[in-house]
Amino acid sequence: MYPLGFAGKARSTLHVLCLGAHSDDIEVGCGGFVLDLISRYHAVDVDWVVFSAQGRREQEARKSAHLFLRGVRRKRLTVAQFRDGFFPYQGGEIKDVFERLKHEVSPDLVLTHYRDDRHQDHRVVSDLTWNTFRDHWILEYEVPKYDGDLGAPNCFVPLEWKTCARKVRYLQAMFGTQRSKQWFNSETFLGLMRLRGIECRAPDGYAEGFYTRKVVLKV
């Protein structure tokens, strides 16, 4: 495979917008990629937006974001409290958040949910991402769950083992409310990254998979 990157960004500021429906979605779906970007680029600015986090979940979202974003040049965290599972019926209010973001940020990269995710909240966030950021590079991440909706990603980010280990360690430490869920464990996270690593022949054997719908190549 021929690798693509951020031309000219290695010594300048890279602006990333991370969007997640719930408090652990960004970390599960693309936490390794975020950690890798921060470690490799001279300056990274991150807007981190969580649409549903209440009570202990809000505390977990804020603590986790600060942990994963340690070392960024500038970070801005937004935690909303839309009702979990009801995003399709709160679309107008959620779109208002996207409209505000459209006027406030111009990211080099947008990380959002997979368009065909079976969780209704995830799909709403993905659809509004594409409606709002129409001239940006958007990568859709995947979240494993009971629904069995994992697909075949067409974009991969190889990760070093130490990055994968940090991601899993942070997830286990930050999201105590999720530990009772059958799928929320180290084996799930490492297993999925191992599978994606096989599919892209990652040097360390691990990767995160993404879906990219539109890419313009400048030769």
pLDDT in tens, 180-200: 999 999 999 999 999 999 999
Are 139 and 46 in contact, with CB atoms under 8 Å apart?
Answer: no
Q: How confident is the model at residue 22 (pLDDT cuts 50, 70, 90)?
A: very high
For 105, the domain range is 13-211
Write b or e for each residue in 92-120: b if 16 or more Cβ atoms lie within 10 A of its Cβ, otherwise e: eebeebbeebeeebebbbbbbbbbebebe
- Say how far apart CA 160 and CA 208 lie, in whole Å: 11
CA atoms within 13 A on the CB side of 178: 22
Answer yes or no: is 7 within a domain. no
Answer yes or no: is 217 within a domain. no
Partnered with residue 211 across adjacent β-strands are 140
Pairing verdict, β 74-79 and 155-159: unpaired
**Structural domains of the chain, count:** 1
What mean pLDDT is predicted for residues 34-52? 95
Count CB atoms within 10 A of the CB of residue 186.
14
Q: What is the pLDDT of residues 65-103, one digit of tens each?
A: 999 999 899 999 999 999 999 999 999 999 999 999 999
Q: What is the percent of the chain with per-residue pLDDT over 70, rounded to a whole number?
A: 96
Can you give the pLDDT at residue 110?
Answer: 98
Answer yes or no: is 175 within a domain. yes
Q: Which CATH number is 26's domain given?
A: 3.40.50.10320
Decide: helix, strand or coil at residue 140: strand
Q: What is the pLDDT of residues 114-157, one digit of tens each?
A: 999 999 999 999 999 999 999 999 999 999 999 999 999 999 99
Can you give the pLDDT at residue 216?
Answer: 83
Pairing verdict, β 206-211 and 155-159: antiparallel
Lowest mean pLDDT among 11-20, 21-30, 65-74, 199-208: 11-20
Answer yes or no: is 125 within a domain. yes
Compute the residue count for the chain.
219
Answer yes or no: is 67 within a domain. yes
Answer yes or no: is 117 within a domain. yes
Q: Which of 164, 159, 50 is nearest to 112 (CA)?
A: 50
Answer yes or no: is 164 within a domain. yes
Can you give the pLDDT at residue 1?
Answer: 67
Can you give the pLDDT at residue 204?
Answer: 98
- Say how far apart CA 86 and CA 91 lie, in whole Å: 9
Phi, psi of 108 (to 5 degrees): -75, -30
Can you give the pLDDT at residue 214?
Answer: 87
Q: How confident is the model at residue 9 (pLDDT cuts 50, 70, 90)?
A: low
Are 116 and 154 in contact, with CB atoms under 8 Å apart?
Answer: no
Answer yes or no: is 136 within a domain. yes
Count CB atoms within 10 A of the CB of residue 11.
8
- Say how far apart CA 209 and CA 8 lie, in whole Å: 24
